[in-house]
A and B are shown apart, each in its own frame.
Chain A
């Protein structure tokens, strides 16, 4: 079921995917041009599912304007590979949404351009190694494989059966797993845990500035408040946050 959804979303993006070949120079120009349409196309691929779920129309005839969003660190192909891996790690399944809906890839991309910039190269090397192995053994890049095939490759990475990683397969896997969890369960300010799907998944009732004994007793039955730390004006970067344009900030809702 999951795979079908994924394939559906990809077929919607078929033209984008074709354009997205690293060997296609026009794609590079498009990225550099970074107009609204180009940025939208990138975000569609990077996070294919969320935007696709949002709209069946991603072609240029659409009247919808996708949110402004860049890939800050990852290449389009890296983002696509990473999205497929995150789908395996925290799947969207019969138990509910996963890393895809939380937009863990969006989080990781942003983090690789900022706090985790030291891991940027490890990601490039590792994601490339996974696709190389997928092509060598299955003739296709990782995202094109069936779920079982993808899972067996990830097991091989985790257990150091495949080479080409920094520091090794297990180390790369652990980093990727850790970042995927961060991107699924972090404060939504950072671009992951969109719509609070991660916190809802764990029945975490949310950040509160105070918790009464009654709150604690209610535990997971407490109504989730769906608030970021930075919904509280105390913690925003500026003392007067009313001047911040809501459109300019990170939309985590």
Chain B
């Protein structure tokens, strides 16, 4: 029998990007919160600038819970699912410890894919088989929460649309915002200047993207030092606004948050009336039951879905909140593949710098351009950035100039180590019938529980965006003086990535969505779900800021409606 602990107001499963944010408004309101985290606390001392350990050996993601239950992947239900890796991190702060920290607001179109596409081009332009719906609200509803996160967590950037006033230094396509970012954007570099100038000569509007990285003293944290080990590494000066260095310590300081580390949640417990009563977790070799009035599920998309599917009960025989059969549906992973790589005839000065220090083009994203004569909807944000490391430089494409070893190759990399760049192109990805998450019938984690099985593939719409955006990217690189270009394949199966969406989609219709417009289950009213698993469209930019804005909003809703939700 699990050891029964004293009841608390709220249990949050996962102290990462989403759960960490939700803890602050709850504890500020005086609610007692227990945050269960599968990993431990890390400190600045853990973030050595070490390409081998961090990048090649995946130190942040290795030897942890998520890795032991990595999903299996297959493109279609007739393929065999193969277990891959898990890209996320178990730690207080979760993957905000080692992410790139790009912190975008979604564009207004992303909330209204169906209605806006229908209005502008006609209903038949929604790709066949897509299950996409409009969000239950528009960008305007989320704007105050984006603002809240930008100013509480600490986001740097250049606004492009403050109360309708456009500024070409920022993203002129962004939704209207109430005010500027709290900090100026990360500085430019010789390379981002080169690319920015090239974009301008093409008539495009280049701008520096937003980042959860300080550029000046902010809330006691020093500014970014540009040493360049953000990717799969934390920040040695806490300039990266990870939740472990921002909202979580603030919540702990209220005296109302207890973070329990190395806690592996195995079950969300439900009574016969279909109300959640708490969670079971394993810590060390003991099993505990933590009773709570409300459970907020805030692990990653795969684990959110998996924990619901594993939590079977009399009230929910097919898994918690799954009587409508929607848990695991509408899954998608952002199409970030199909990059374009360029070779230049001069050094780019990219040995220092970070992935969030870059220049963006939004002309070809979302519905920012006319799709009347095109055979797809949506688009891509084009992104190039600094950040070069010796091992990855040596593993660069040879652009067909030499075989990839030996004297000629060595001369090639010696000449070109700092002369190549690879783009990051984030593309609109839609949910489809036949793309879903369920429990693998064969592969189990070390505790004997089935892992998540991904069955999903990119469809024509995603591949057409990929081909279209590669053309634009090539044009941009050539304008900047690139002498050779390589374009990579358009992508197939949707393996586990850091941008996984859906599985517990948010929407008004309880027949097609798991959570309501506030993030609470349609079926189990005191269960909330946080994270990109509630998002019904991907947008063409990184999800974390939207995840955090939604989390704050769900937590605030809980505070304001405590009595009716607790019942």
Residues of A within 8 A of B (CB): 88-91, 93, 95-96, 98, 115, 151, 154-155, 177-178, 181-182, 184-187, 189-190, 198-199, 201-205, 207-213, 215-217, 219-220, 229-230, 232, 234-235, 239
Pick from B45, B225, B351, B353: contact of A220, CB under 8 Å? B351
0/1 string, B24-63, CB within 8 A of A gives 1: 0000000000000000000011011111110011000000
- Chain A residue with Cβ nearest B188: A213
B residues near A177, Cβ cutoff 8 Å: 404-405
A residues near B114, Cβ cutoff 8 Å: none
B residues near A203, Cβ cutoff 8 Å: 414, 417-418
Pick from B189, B393, B403, B407: contact of A216, CB under 8 Å? B189
| C-alpha gap A220/B414 in the complex (Å) | 11
Contact A89 B405 (CB under 8 A): yes
B residues near A186, Cβ cutoff 8 Å: 51-52, 56, 391
B residues near A209, Cβ cutoff 8 Å: 49, 225, 227, 236
Contact A220 B347 (CB under 8 A): yes
Residues of B within 8 A of A (CB): 44-45, 47-53, 56-57, 187, 189-190, 225-228, 236, 347, 349, 351-353, 386, 390-391, 393-395, 403-407, 410-411, 413-414, 417-418
Known: A88-B406, A187-B50. A204 touches B227 (CB 8 A): no
| C-alpha gap A9/B403 in the complex (Å) | 28
State how many angstroms separate the Cβ of B343 from the closest Cβ of chain A.
15
| C-alpha gap A188/B227 in the complex (Å) | 18
Contact B353 A211 (CB under 8 A): yes
| C-alpha gap A182/B395 in the complex (Å) | 9
Contact B353 A95 (CB under 8 A): no
State how many angstroms separate the Cβ of B518 from the closest Cβ of chain A.
43
State how many angstroms separate the Cβ of A72 from the closest Cβ of chain B.
17
Contact B49 A216 (CB under 8 A): no
- Chain B residue with Cβ nearest A107: B52
Known: A210-B225, A235-B45. A184 touches B394 (CB 8 A): yes
Tell me how many residue pairs across A and B have CB atoms closer than 8 Å.
119
B residues near A230, Cβ cutoff 8 Å: 48
Write 21 A-B pairs (CB below 8 A) sorted by A numbering: A88-B405, A91-B406, A91-B407, A98-B410, A181-B395, A185-B393, A185-B394, A187-B53, A202-B417, A203-B417, A208-B227, A209-B225, A210-B226, A210-B227, A211-B226, A212-B226, A216-B351, A229-B49, A235-B45, A235-B47, A235-B49
Contact A208 B390 (CB under 8 A): no
Known: A182-B52, A209-B236, A210-B226. A90 touches B410 (CB 8 A): yes
Pick from A93, A198, A215, A232: contact of B390, CB under 8 Å? A198
Pick from A187, A202, A211: contact of B394, CB under 8 Å? A202
Contact A185 B391 (CB under 8 A): yes
- Chain B residue with Cβ nearest A187: B50
| C-alpha gap A229/B55 in the complex (Å) | 14
B residues near A201, Cβ cutoff 8 Å: 410, 413-414
Closest 10 CB pairs of A and B: A211-B352, A210-B225, A235-B48, A202-B417, A219-B349, A186-B52, A185-B390, A229-B48, A89-B405, A185-B391
| C-alpha gap A184/B56 in the complex (Å) | 14
| C-alpha gap A207/B45 in the complex (Å) | 16
Contact A181 B45 (CB under 8 A): no
Pick from A95, A190, A217, A220: contact of B410, CB under 8 Å? A95
Most buried by A among B391, B403, B413, B418: B391
- Chain A residue with Cβ nearest B45: A234
A residues near B236, Cβ cutoff 8 Å: 209, 234
Known: A95-B410, A211-B227. A216 touches B353 (CB 8 A): yes
| C-alpha gap A155/B414 in the complex (Å) | 22
Known: A219-B351, A230-B48, A234-B44. A211 touches B225 (CB 8 A): yes
Most buried by B among A91, A98, A199, A210: A210
A residues near B351, Cβ cutoff 8 Å: 204-205, 216, 219-220
Contact B405 A90 (CB under 8 A): yes
Pick from B51, B393, B418: contact of A219, CB under 8 Å? B418
Contact A202 B406 (CB under 8 A): no
- Chain B residue with Cβ nearest A180: B405
Contact A216 B395 (CB under 8 A): no
Known: A211-B352, A217-B190. A93 touches B410 (CB 8 A): yes
Contact A95 B414 (CB under 8 A): yes
Contact A229 B50 (CB under 8 A): yes
State how many angstroms separate the Cβ of B173 from the closest Cβ of chain A.
29
Contact B414 A202 (CB under 8 A): yes
- Chain A residue with Cβ nearest B416: A202
What 12 new A-B contacts, CB under 8 Å, besides A187-B50, A220-B347?
A181-B395, A185-B394, A186-B52, A187-B52, A207-B49, A209-B227, A210-B225, A211-B226, A216-B226, A216-B349, A235-B47, A239-B45
Contact A219 B347 (CB under 8 A): yes
| C-alpha gap A239/B46 in the complex (Å) | 12
| C-alpha gap A164/B174 in the complex (Å) | 57
| C-alpha gap A103/B395 in the complex (Å) | 18
A residues near B414, Cβ cutoff 8 Å: 95-96, 201-203
| C-alpha gap A93/B414 in the complex (Å) | 13
A residues near B349, Cβ cutoff 8 Å: 216-217, 219
State how many angstroms separate the Cβ of A87 from the closest Cβ of chain B.
10
Contact B405 A95 (CB under 8 A): no
B residues near A184, Cβ cutoff 8 Å: 394
| C-alpha gap A89/B236 in the complex (Å) | 35
Contact A181 B407 (CB under 8 A): no
| C-alpha gap A177/B395 in the complex (Å) | 9
- Chain B residue with Cβ nearest A192: B52
A residues near B56, Cβ cutoff 8 Å: 182, 186
| C-alpha gap A213/B215 in the complex (Å) | 14
